[in-house]
Amino acid sequence: MESSNSGTSQLDATLQALGGGLSSGAPAAASNIDGWISTLDGAGSPALSAISSELKNLKSAISSGDGAEISKSLQTLGEHTSKAAATATPDASAKLQQLGQTLSSAAASLQA
């Protein structure tokens, strides 16, 4: 139960960071991404490992400033996160769905 609450808190923090848009969330992105990579790598799930791997790609794209790669990575993360929502605990499912939609929207805004 404790890890679920921790994960839910992490979801809340991520949604809050992204709520103001990409530029307002950028300063906290690196530590937020590192936190998620650590959490997901410890989960032992192939689906979550795929998200962790994509987060590493996103971090690299952010470091290089490659907008096209950032957009592509955000889109992939949005899709993976939305799929993960289907098998998540009830307290995390709605938040994961919201996060997936937010990531996909952020990807689309970068393509515009």
Q: Is residue 36 part of a domain?
A: yes
Tens place of pLDDT for every residue, the chain, 112 residues? 334 455 677 777 777 767 666 655 555 677 788 888 998 888 888 888 899 999 999 989 888 888 899 999 999 999 999 998 888 888 889 999 999 999 999 889 887 6
Domain count, the chain: 1
User: Which pLDDT value is given to residue 2?
Assistant: 35
Q: Is residue 61 part of a domain?
A: yes
User: Which pLDDT value is given to residue 1?
Assistant: 31
Q: Is residue 20 part of a domain?
A: no
Show the 3-state SS of 54-88.
Answer: HHHHHHHHHHHCCHHHHHHHHHHHHHHHHHHHCCC
Q: Is residue 11 part of a domain?
A: no
Structural domain boundaries enclosing 54: 27-111
Distance CA 12, CA 10 (A): 5
Q: Is residue 13 part of a domain?
A: no
